[in-house]
Structure 1
Amino acid sequence: MTHADTALPVSLDRDDATPLAVQLADALREAAASGHLRGGDRLPSTRALAGRLGVSRTVTSAAYEQLHAEGWIAGRHGSGTYVTTPPSFSASEVPAPAVPAPESEAPSLLDLGPGTPWADGLDRAAWRRAWRAAADPDPLVRAHRAGLPEYRAAVSEHLLRHRGLAAGSVLATGGTTAAVVELAAAVLERGDVVAVEEPGYQRAVQAFRRAGMRVVGVPVDDEGLRPDAIPAGARAVYCSPAHQYPMGSRLSAARRVALVERARSSAMLVIEDDYDGELRFDVAPLPMLASLAPDVVAHLGTTSKILTPTLGAGWMVAPEAITSAVLAYRDSTGTRPSPAGQRVLYEFARNGDLGRHLRKLRREMAERRTLLAGALAGAGIPVRGDDAGAHLVVPFSSASVEASVISAAERRGIRLDGLARHFAGEPSAHGVAIGYAGCGREALVAALPTLVSLLR
């Protein structure tokens, strides 16, 4: 609590036709609205203020009464008069933002875009339990630049159980995009050529470009990225082999071998984005690139797709030279991933809740994909993408059809994601990527007839 007796920004003009009580009320109101006076500040008594300003007590009493009626100040019996929090404005008085946030339109549309997790599927009791337990340890007094040891151990176990990767060393990250930013800054150099999937994850593309890399798109097809199309001299290649984003294909076994051989022969770093590799429904996943070639692969994972972006937690498994460079970068810049989400993930995994959630998540996503793919196939609508992940692709013949369908869907209350925005260069494929994780199952089922009529 502060005392405002000696700092009132009040100046009264006796030559002004405006009554002194009104001038005083206006001055105090402006001081509260501008933050010069804050909620909880104590004002002088009407008698003391009148003496300081050289006016009658009638003037100060009238000003206080007006401000009290408007809600700017309040009296406390036996204590004095205090500034309250400034009254909230009515909707008509609040100016609209110049550029509305995209989220402002989200509630009115059923979001069927890819990349959204099934957050509603989290066991809320287990979720709350993890957060409570995460608050039990003492606050940290120093940063863990590699990540909390218990978190890294939990991730190692997760990778071994659910992805078949025996990770020798795990670094905590803020997620896959944050890890790409660190790799670009710590390992690569300005002007380096980085090959990326085309179409692909544009946030990674922009991270490389902003770090000064020269980004070259490499085409993908039903077998994933084409290693033969990687340009000579590429210093790194970024790919999503388990479930290519956004086309949904899986990098074939032959291409995995070809990519690894190319990386070893040309000293090229392979950045493996395993954003939703845990979500495989039809067959066991192929070995990860990090399992095949731990000497040339930096494996990236995240909790954003299997749990929620709330945690802001991910991981990196890479050769020692790469992890050492990243740790040196963190030391020199003072950056590190937040430990709060790491603590929650550790607690969520420690009691088996992570494993239970993943089993439930796989069942739910498999059933939703069957519902969606079945409805589309029944209407003769072609579908692309492996039986995995949380989205599929419906191809179109042209960019105009893509734009038309997206616009028509929005008019019908559905948000669809076109392939055009996933290209770094000129789009060579057209269609929509349809996500089925972010909405409720009932909403998805209810939308199927409308979706079929739009896509047919």
Structure 2
Amino acid sequence: MPQDVPAAGSPLLELAIDLRRDGPLPLAVQLADALRHAATIGQLRDGDRLPSTRALARHLAVSRTVTAAAYEQLHAEGWIVGRRGSGTYVTTRPPGASGETPRPPVPDAPASEAPKVVLTPGVPWAGGIDRAAWRRAWRAAADIEPDLRPQRAGLPSYREAVVEHLLRHRGLLVGGWAPDNVLTTGGTSTAVGELAAAVLPRGAKVAVEEPGYQRAVGALRAAGARVVHVPVDHSGLIVERIPAGVAAVYCSPAHQFPIGGRLPAERRVALIERARAEGWLIFEDDYDGELRYDVAPLPVLASMAPDVVVHLGTTSKILTPTLGAGWMLAAEPVTSAVLEHRERTGSGPAPAGQRVLVELARHGDLGRHLRRLRRELSQRRALVVEGLAAEGVEVFGDRAGAHVVLPLPDLETEQRFVAEAAEKHGIVLDGLGRHHDGTPRWHGLALGYSACTRDELAAALPLLARTVHRAG
């Protein structure tokens, strides 16, 4: 493509591009990321003319090799195009730049089969996935020759993509660890069950948050563990309430599920100190740690104590459960025990979803989706909080994730609220009662805002507020 286009007049030269020479990423990668981001948020638009690589290099005070490599990468991804004798232009809009992905029309259904408005937590914003990128990733994954043998640890390319993801979006440097520290999983529940079966003695006590993620509780019991409850408050797990004699603690420190608090620094330190002193492991469920809207994502516990923390992540909340892929980051004794368990049982993660994730990451589609996801869910959270506050209803939960909690006075009110919303208004809600393993202590709704459209969400808020007022 021509590289002698004058620099004057290009909107690119008006952008503040910060290239960090002491950063972990090459300058060309940083520049390509910055230009993608500029296009994603509309600072660069379809048809905008870019400066030549030479002019941009002078503007940024970098080598022309840097700008040429960045342009070549963006050209290969289809973001820019060179026109002979004219210059280089932005040639595509970012996926979904004009709003939400349109949904196909739904045929009229009888009243008994009326479409439901889903306001439950734990459901991803699947409507925001760029369908062209999704299809491209599946086609590329299908071009790879079928495997002859299972890869118990997961595909090397997927594990490399996870390392890059943890660096970029969770600030976790795993480069100093051995590659075997990262294992592919079938998701968080599967990983918890594997850990209990492979690492813990049968019948070992495992402390879990109450209320908490009940599928993890089920996976622990299915693997032969004895579950003991630890209460939570608005700041997450109450560390001093963990009983003595446990073999592991399962928790969600970045965004406690379902109450929504984040574990403060002093509790994190106390949790790690007890784990080391008493010889137990911490199973860290980082199910939506990428989704914070007030500050940068909180550091993961694994970065503080890799010797006692097993870090668990999943693609189910940031993309879709369709992939059936997650990851586990742990010390070598833990990963070795899990691999031995997989060999004995003939189990292991399916490769199809891993290959798709690799392709999404390879072409920058994963990063673009996460940026759009954070922006969209941040706006939706503001819509929920401000919309309910305008009706005199307060909610709680950190500025993170894809749900807030709407408190109610008691379990009976909660159950009646959920039933009436479904029967009378076609709104699917989730009460806090079902997230308890024992007698419910917290009452209210875990109100999700990612599965529906914005219009559905806005229409449901006044109805919810009126019902809460009637409930007192």
TM category, shorter: 0.7 to 0.9
Task: Write the deviation string for residues 323-374 of structure 1: whole angstroms up to 9, x where unpaired.
Answer: 0000000011111100000000000000000000000000000000000011
1:342 corresponds in structure 2 to 354
Asked if 1:282 is matched to 2:294, the reply is yes
Highest CA radius of gyration, 1 or 2? 1
Matches within 5 A, 1:322-361: 322-361=334-373
Query: Which residue, 164, 173, 183 being the options, matches 2:185?
Result: 173
Task: Write the deviation string for residues 230-288 of structure 1: whole angstroms up to 9, x where unpaired.
Answer: 01011000000111100011111110010000101011100000001000001123211
Shift of 1:106: 8.3
2:418 corresponds in structure 1 to 406
Shift of 1:191: 1.6
The more displaced of 293-302 and 408-417 is 408-417
How many Å separate the matches in 2 of 1:266 and 1:315?
A: 26
Matches within 5 A, 1:312-391: 312-391=324-403
Q: Summarize the Cα distance change of 1:320–1:260 in structure 2 as closer, same or farther, 3 Å threshold.
A: same
Contact residue 193 and residue 213 of structure 1 kept, 8 A: yes
Query: Which residue, 409, 425, 432 being the options, matches 1:419?
Result: 432
* Aligned partner letter, 1:326: V
Asked if 1:310 is matched to 2:322, the reply is yes
* Aligned partner letter, 2:147: L
2:310 is paired with a residue whose SS is strand
Shift of 1:222: 1.2
2:270 corresponds in structure 1 to 258
Shift of 1:384: 1.2
Asked if 1:128 is matched to 2:141, the reply is no
1:322 is paired with a residue whose SS is helix
* Aligned partner letter, 1:196: V
How many Å separate the matches in 1 of 2:298 and 2:382?
A: 22
2:413 is paired with a residue whose SS is helix
* Aligned partner letter, 1:267: G
> TM-score under structure 1 normalisation?
0.76
Contact residue 408 and residue 454 of structure 1 kept, 8 A: no
* Aligned partner letter, 1:131: W
1:80 corresponds in structure 2 to none
1:430 corresponds in structure 2 to 443
2:198 corresponds in structure 1 to 186
1:144 corresponds in structure 2 to 151
5+ residue gaps in structure 1?
1-104
Q: Summarize the Cα distance change of 1:106–1:309 in structure 2 as closer, same or farther, 3 Å threshold.
A: farther
Task: Write the deviation string for residues 272-325 of structure 1: whole angstroms up to 9, x where unpaired.
Answer: 000010000011232110000000000000000000000000000011100000
1:39 corresponds in structure 2 to none
1:64 corresponds in structure 2 to none
* Aligned partner letter, 1:416: L
Contact residue 253 and residue 286 of structure 1 kept, 8 A: no
5+ residue gaps in structure 2?
1-111
How many Å separate the matches in 2 of 1:214 and 1:138?
A: 43
Contact residue 116 and residue 437 of structure 1 kept, 8 A: yes
2:270 is paired with a residue whose SS is helix
1:427 is paired with a residue whose SS is coil
Contact residue 210 and residue 231 of structure 2 kept, 8 A: yes
* Aligned partner letter, 1:128: R
Tell me the number of residue pairs that the alignment of Structure 1 and Structure 2 aligns.
352
Contact residue 388 and residue 462 of structure 2 kept, 8 A: no
* Aligned partner letter, 1:212: G
Shift of 1:442: 1.6
How many Å separate the matches in 2 of 1:264 and 1:378?
A: 47
2:405 corresponds in structure 1 to 393
